[in-house]
Amino acid sequence: MTYYYPTRRRYCSHCGQLFTPKYANLKLCYPCYVKRDKALDAYDVLLAEVSSLRRQLIVANRNQRRTTTAPDAPDKQTLRWMIQQLHPDKHTNADYSTAAVQWLNGLRNQRR
Ligand SMILES: [Zn+2]
Protein backbone atom coordinates (compact mmCIF):
# COMPACT_ATOMS: atom_id res chain seq x y z
CA MET A 1 0.00 0.00 0.00
CA THR A 2 1.38 3.41 -0.94
CA TYR A 3 0.66 6.45 1.11
CA TYR A 4 -0.07 9.75 -0.47
CA TYR A 5 1.23 12.77 1.35
CA PRO A 6 -0.14 16.00 -0.02
CA THR A 7 2.88 18.22 0.25
CA ARG A 8 3.68 21.81 -0.47
CA ARG A 9 5.03 22.95 -3.78
CA ARG A 10 8.81 23.15 -3.92
CA TYR A 11 11.61 23.90 -6.35
CA CYS A 12 13.15 21.01 -8.24
CA SER A 13 16.75 20.58 -7.11
CA HIS A 14 17.82 19.98 -10.71
CA CYS A 15 15.96 22.41 -12.96
CA GLY A 16 14.67 24.87 -10.38
CA GLN A 17 11.03 24.66 -11.57
CA LEU A 18 8.21 24.74 -9.02
CA PHE A 19 6.42 21.42 -8.69
CA THR A 20 4.10 19.59 -6.32
CA PRO A 21 5.88 16.50 -4.99
CA LYS A 22 3.82 13.35 -4.67
CA TYR A 23 5.85 12.30 -1.64
CA ALA A 24 7.45 14.45 1.03
CA ASN A 25 10.99 13.26 0.26
CA LEU A 26 10.94 14.00 -3.48
CA LYS A 27 13.46 16.63 -4.55
CA LEU A 28 13.14 16.30 -8.32
CA CYS A 29 10.18 17.22 -10.55
CA TYR A 30 8.76 14.36 -12.60
CA PRO A 31 10.59 15.20 -15.90
CA CYS A 32 13.90 15.46 -14.03
CA TYR A 33 13.17 12.25 -12.12
CA VAL A 34 12.56 10.41 -15.42
CA LYS A 35 15.73 11.92 -16.93
CA ARG A 36 17.79 10.83 -13.94
CA ASP A 37 16.27 7.34 -14.07
CA LYS A 38 17.23 6.97 -17.74
CA ALA A 39 20.72 8.26 -17.01
CA LEU A 40 21.14 5.73 -14.20
CA ASP A 41 19.94 2.92 -16.50
CA ALA A 42 22.44 4.03 -19.15
CA TYR A 43 25.14 4.13 -16.47
CA ASP A 44 24.31 0.55 -15.41
CA VAL A 45 24.48 -0.57 -19.05
CA LEU A 46 27.89 1.11 -19.42
CA LEU A 47 29.18 -0.48 -16.22
CA ALA A 48 28.09 -3.92 -17.43
CA GLU A 49 29.75 -3.27 -20.80
CA VAL A 50 33.01 -2.15 -19.17
CA SER A 51 32.97 -5.23 -16.98
CA SER A 52 32.33 -7.50 -19.97
CA LEU A 53 35.11 -5.86 -22.00
CA ARG A 54 37.50 -6.19 -19.06
CA ARG A 55 36.77 -9.91 -18.88
CA GLN A 56 37.28 -10.27 -22.66
CA LEU A 57 40.61 -8.44 -22.39
CA ILE A 58 41.81 -10.76 -19.63
CA VAL A 59 40.87 -13.83 -21.71
CA ALA A 60 42.44 -12.35 -24.88
CA ASN A 61 45.69 -11.54 -23.05
CA ARG A 62 45.79 -15.03 -21.58
CA ASN A 63 45.21 -16.62 -25.01
CA GLN A 64 47.80 -14.39 -26.64
CA ARG A 65 50.39 -15.33 -24.02
CA ARG A 66 49.65 -19.00 -24.64
CA THR A 67 49.97 -18.80 -28.41
CA THR A 68 52.88 -16.36 -28.72
CA THR A 69 55.22 -18.30 -26.44
CA ALA A 70 56.96 -20.82 -28.66
CA PRO A 71 54.10 -21.78 -30.99
CA ASP A 72 56.24 -24.45 -32.67
CA ALA A 73 57.46 -25.96 -29.42
CA PRO A 74 56.88 -29.68 -29.02
CA ASP A 75 54.13 -30.79 -26.65
CA LYS A 76 54.84 -31.38 -22.96
CA GLN A 77 55.37 -35.13 -23.30
CA THR A 78 57.79 -34.78 -26.24
CA LEU A 79 59.69 -32.04 -24.39
CA ARG A 80 60.11 -34.25 -21.36
CA TRP A 81 61.31 -37.14 -23.53
CA MET A 82 63.84 -34.88 -25.31
CA ILE A 83 65.14 -33.58 -21.99
CA GLN A 84 65.53 -37.13 -20.71
CA GLN A 85 67.36 -38.22 -23.86
CA LEU A 86 69.68 -35.21 -23.92
CA HIS A 87 70.34 -35.05 -20.18
CA PRO A 88 74.04 -34.34 -19.43
CA ASP A 89 74.19 -37.45 -17.21
CA LYS A 90 73.71 -39.55 -20.36
CA HIS A 91 76.29 -37.59 -22.34
CA THR A 92 79.21 -37.47 -19.91
CA ASN A 93 78.31 -33.85 -19.03
CA ALA A 94 79.07 -32.70 -22.57
CA ASP A 95 78.60 -28.96 -23.19
CA TYR A 96 76.21 -29.54 -26.11
CA SER A 97 74.03 -31.64 -23.85
CA THR A 98 73.91 -29.02 -21.09
CA ALA A 99 73.14 -26.26 -23.58
CA ALA A 100 70.40 -28.28 -25.28
CA VAL A 101 68.72 -29.21 -22.00
CA GLN A 102 68.89 -25.61 -20.78
CA TRP A 103 67.21 -24.47 -23.98
CA LEU A 104 64.53 -27.17 -23.71
CA ASN A 105 63.92 -26.27 -20.05
CA GLY A 106 63.44 -22.66 -21.15
CA LEU A 107 60.81 -23.78 -23.65
CA ARG A 108 59.11 -25.89 -21.01
CA ASN A 109 59.01 -22.99 -18.54
CA GLN A 110 57.49 -20.69 -21.20
CA ARG A 111 54.63 -23.11 -21.72
CA ARG A 112 53.56 -23.08 -18.08
ZN1 LIG B 1 13.22 19.42 -12.52
Helix (H) or strand (E) holding 71: none
- The CA distance from 32 to 7, in Å, is 18
Spacing, Cα 57 to ligand 1 middle (Å): 40
pLDDT-above-70 percentage for the chain: 90
Residue 43 to residue 37: CA distance in whole angstroms? 10
How does pLDDT run across 29-65, given as a tens digit for each residue?
999 999 999 999 999 999 999 999 999 999 999 988 8
What pLDDT score does 66 carry?
Answer: 79
Residues with CB under 5 A from ligand 1 (ion): 12, 14-15, 29, 32
Spacing, Cα 63 to ligand 1 middle (Å): 50
Neighbouring-strand partners of residue 19: 10
Amino acid in position 7:
T
CA of 81 to the centre of ligand 1 (A): 75
Domain boundaries, the chain: 72-112
